[in-house]
Amino acid sequence: MRNILTEYGATKVTVDANNPKGTFKNRTNDVLKDGTPNDEKWSQDMWGFFMHLLNKAGIVPDGSQENEVVSQVFEALQTLFSRPLWTSPQLLGSGLNIVGAANPALAALNGTYVAFIDSTIEELRTYRFNGVTWSLVGSGLSIPGIGSPALAALNGTDVAFIDTTLQELRTYRFNFTTETWSLIGSGLSIPSAAAPALATLNGTDVAFIDSTIEELRTYRFNFTTETWSLVGSGLSIPGIAGSALAALNGTDVAFIDDLLEELRTYRFNGATWGLVGSGLSIPGTAGRALATLNGTDVSHIDSALEELRTYRFNFTTETWSLIGSGLSIAGIGTPALAALNGTDVAFIDSTIEELRTYRHGFSMRNI
């Protein structure tokens, strides 16, 4: 922003107690010409300010004239000041000990229920959070012989499942009346899948990646035939290990792994995957987990940094950034996350072995 006092001096600027940096002044007369020049530079300052507001809000100028009824500048201010301001997450209520949980996976069925499975207990279960405590709901379904698993909720009752030993993409359904789980249809063999990750794109499609095949793919579940199939072609991401995925919307997913250590966005166009923008380096990540809070923000934690954080993707600049400060959760092992809503995440890991809820704190300002 230009400074009229330093640029033109006190003779062409009015300075008083209320305006110590000066104000514009009119000419005394046409001979003295002692007024403040009002040239194209000042118009550009105002234009630049308005365009910066619109860019930050992700709004593109539509060519319309600003008036008392419609104003894109005001819409930009509304967007920016109504956006949550994230602060350090906090533990909500108390946790539930799940002894022996190793390589856990979580998927939220709704705002209070999560599906849970791990590679030691080997039982697909449902847990409920009542706002203060967690409790087991009904009975679990034994899935013996599984390795490191992954879950993704297709809807309020059905989850996609895969693991490193059975290596079969399956669908399981939770019956809220009988409070039991059951296998739906048949699974799809994905040989060599190791340390897999899943993310729900919509009610039928999931994004998939693992550390052996090293290919980001889309799989679709047909509820009529109750079968899975590959959709389009995959995208090779070589040199990865221990990946995590979280869907931002029906086409875009957040991705991070233990070796590349870069938070990225990938987009599926219905046939192929492509990288969107640039990634954000997060050195030292290991044993990672992601969960989607909303269309731009993800919750992130790993067993090396041991800090629950929020990261935001800017769709205008196509870049990631850290939002607010993280919360240290010391001594964790391999973690799992599932978003219950736009602020709360379910969390468990293989060392503390306690199912907890953390809230990403925020303040909301509206104009």
Residues 162-195: pLDDT tens digits? Answer: 999 999 999 999 999 999 999 999 999 999 999 9
- Cβ atoms within 10 Å of 35's Cβ, excluding its own: 17
| The two three-digit tokens of residue 90, written as one number | 């906090």
- Count CB atoms within 10 A of the CB of residue 130: 9
**Rounded to two decimals, what is the model's pTM?**
0.77
Q: Are 235 and 216 in contact (CB under 8 A)?
A: yes
pLDDT, tens only, 108-138: 999 999 999 999 999 999 999 999 999 999 9
Sequence-ordered strand ranges (E) for 121-261: 123-129, 134-142, 149-153, 158-163, 168-175, 180-189, 197-200, 205-209, 215-222, 227-236, 244-247, 252-256
pLDDT of residue 27: 84
Q: Considering only CA atoms, give the Rg of the chain.
A: 26
Domain ranges of the chain: 4-81, 85-363
Q: 18-29, pLDDT tens digit by residue?
A: 888 878 788 888
**Residue 9 backbone class (left: φ over 0; alpha: ψ -120 to 50; beta: rest):** left
Q: pLDDT band at 367, cuts 50/70/90?
A: very low
Helix (H) or strand (E) run with residue 43 in it: helix 40-57
How many other C-beta atoms lie within 10 A of the C-beta of residue 63? 6
Residue owning tokens 């989607």: 292
Would you say domain 85-363 falls under CATH 2.120.10.80?
Answer: yes
CB of 331 closer than 8 Å to CB of 324: no
> What backbone torsions phi and psi does residue 3 show, to the nearest 5 degrees?
-115, 110
Q: Compute the distance between CA of residue 136 and CA of residue 126 in angstroms, rounded to an integer.
A: 6
Distance (Å, rounded) from C-alpha 345 to C-alpha 361? 11
DSSP letters for 228-295: EEEEEEEEE-TT--S-EEEESSSSEEEEE-TTT-EEEEEEE-SS-EEEEEEEEE-TT--SEEEEESSS
List pLDDT tens digits, range 191-226: 999 999 999 999 999 999 999 999 999 999 999 999
